Every structure is written in structure tokens, then in C-alpha cells.
């Protein structure tokens, strides 16, 4: 089996795993990954994470020309913006995960640092998550907003919509977006309480030791 064929299978396997665990539903969410030759595989529009077909993934060459597969997700501007601005990006995942979306709808969220400092793991995998304003799904301006971050963030939260994470590889992107959802769930469980948060010094230590994409690099 070729590297590209293995990547196709892995995209579908990981997408199905997220679907089966309720991290996205119906035909929501999209996923992409760079191929070994610099091309791109992308989930098709209107497809379910639970039923992706490896042979039907939209396939683009290194120049951005579609060379195979079905019509790609309408969120291509979002995926392209991460690949164009974030040198470390090897895969991008966008979900409509319940707890992250719920947290994004609440007032007084910190747009510069969406997730509270509850555990080290979200920082280690995501860095600082930026909360972007609401955009209509598929709006090219989502891509413009991501490019405006100049590659400084590996993850964003689209208000009233869902999280988006760029990882160095496919597994890394999937692990990170799951950590984002888990942290959002913790934040909702603790809403109205006064939890002990990580201190700024503890966060700074994580950033230094783990070479975290902190949004100001």
C-alpha cells in the first residue's frame, strides 16, 4: 500500500472515530491532510465523518488543482488559510463539537485566549486558542480572518460554529481538537464555580518547555 493510500485510510478511520464518539454529527465537520508529494486530501462536501470513502476524498496537487475525488468541503478557504500561513501545518480538522460550540455562545469570553487555564494539556497541544466572530459557514471571510492571524495560532474557535485545529500531522490535529473539546466541557462543568487555575508562571513554563505555539511567535 502506498503512503497516499495509507493516509486516505487513516483520514477515514480517525474521522469515523470522532463521529462514533459524538464529536461531530450528521454531515458536519471536515478534515484535510497534506500528501507526501505536497498535495492535499480533503473530505468532500455534504459527507458524514462516519462514512467517508477513502477513494472519494477530494484530491489536490501541489499547485492547488483538483485532480481527483468528489467536490471538496465548502470550508476550503478555511483549510487553505491554515496551510498558507502556518508552516507547521500538515493536517487541519474542523468539528461542530457540542461543548466547544456551547462555550463560544456564552458572553464575556476572552477572544485572545478562549480556553481557561484548567489543565496543562490544552496548552501543550493547542497553545492559545483565538475566538473568532461568527461567519456564515463557507464564507471566504473565514479564511481572511485566519490569514490575519499570520500563522501565530494553531487553533481557532469560530463563534456559534465550531473549533478548527491545524496539526503537524493528522494524528496530532485530531488529538488536539479532542483536547479542545474536553477542556471546553470542563469549563462548562465548572461555570459558576471558582476553580484553581494554572498560574501565569506555570503556563509560561509549559510554553517554554514544550515549544508551544502561543500566538505571539
Catalytic residue positions? 75, 121
Number of Cβ atoms within 10 Å of the Cβ of 16: 15
| DSSP collapsed to 3 states, the chain | CCHHHHHHHHHHHHHHHHHHCCCCCCCCCEEEEECCCCCEEECECCCCHHHCCHHHCEEECCCCCEEECCCECCCHHHHHHHHHHCCCCCEEEECCCHHHHHHHHCCCCCCCCCCCCCCHHHHHHHCCCEEECCCCCCCHHHHHHHHCCCCCCCEEEECCCEEEEEECCHHHHHHHHHHHHHHHHHHHHCCCCCCCCCCHHHHHHHHHHCCCCCCCC
Using a 10 angstrom Cβ sphere, with 0-12 exposed, 13-18 middle and 19 or more buried, the burial of residue 51 is: exposed
Amino acid at each position: 500500500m502506498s503512503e497516499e493510500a495509507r493516509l486516505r485510510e487513516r483520514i477515514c478511520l480517525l474521522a469515523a472515530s470522532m463521529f462514533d464518539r459524538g464529536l461531530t454529527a450528521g454531515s458536519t465537520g471536515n478534515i484535510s491532510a497534506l500528501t507526501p508529494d505536497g498535495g492535499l486530501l480533503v473530505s468532500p462536501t455534504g459527507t458524514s465523518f462516519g462514512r467517508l470513502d477513502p477513494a472519494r476524498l477530494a484530491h489536490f496537487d501541489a499547485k492547488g488543482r483538483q485532480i481527483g475525488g468528489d467536490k471538496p468541503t465548502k470550508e476550503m478557504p478555511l483549510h487553505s488559510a491554515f496551510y498558507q500561513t502556518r508552516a507547521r501545518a500538515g493536517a487541519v480538522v474542523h468539528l461542530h463539537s457540542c461543548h466547544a460550540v456551547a462555550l463560544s455562545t456564552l458572553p464575556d469570553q476572552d477572544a485572545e485566549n478562549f480556553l481557561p487555564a484548567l489543565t496543562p494539556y490544552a496548552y501543550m497541544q493547542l497553545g492559545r486558542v483565538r475566538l473568532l466572530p461568527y461567519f456564515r459557514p463557507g464564507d471566504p471571510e473565514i479564511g481572511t480572518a485566519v490569514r490575519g492571524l499570520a500563522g501565530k495560532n494553531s487553533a481557532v474557535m469560530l463563534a456559534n460554529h465550531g473549533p478548527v485545529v491545524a496539526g503537524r500531522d493528522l494524528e496530532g490535529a485530531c488529538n488536539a481538537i479532542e483536547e479542545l473539546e474536553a477542556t471546553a466541557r470542563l469549563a462548562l462543568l465548572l461555570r459558576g464555580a471558582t476553580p484553581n487555575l494554572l498560574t501565569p508562571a506555570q503556563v509560561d513554563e509549559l510554553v517554554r518547555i514544550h515549544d508551544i505555539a502561543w500566538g505571539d511567535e
